[in-house]
Amino acid sequence: MRKLGIPKFLRVEHWVYDGDQPGIYSGAGLYIVNPPYAFTQTLLPLLEALRVALAPVGHKSEIITDWLSD
């Protein structure tokens, strides 16, 4: 992604860990190119709601967001 020459990407990843089988996890990721101003402030509450909704009962999950830049 960095080799494309686009100055900034927002990376969002959601990981769900299997409580019954340590080391087993699944996840999904998304790269957002040039998000609008203040996007990250409105994104965080939405991501938390998605994390709660998508993680099965008894499973740990986490959402990671960070900026990739040159």
Residues 9-43: tens digit of each pLDDT? 889 998 888 766 666 678 889 888 888 888 888 88
Domain membership of residue 70 (yes or no) is no
Domain membership of residue 43 (yes or no) is yes
Q: What is the pLDDT of residue 70?
A: 57
Domain carrying residue 13: 2-21+34-65
Q: Which residues contact 38 (CB under 8 A, 6 or more apart)?
A: none
In the predicted structure, residue 1 carries a pLDDT above the cut 70: no
Domain count for the chain: 1
pTM: predicted TM-score of the whole model, two decimal places = 0.70
Domain membership of residue 26 (yes or no) is no
Domain membership of residue 15 (yes or no) is yes
Domain membership of residue 46 (yes or no) is yes
Dig out the tokens for 31 from the structure.
């790269």
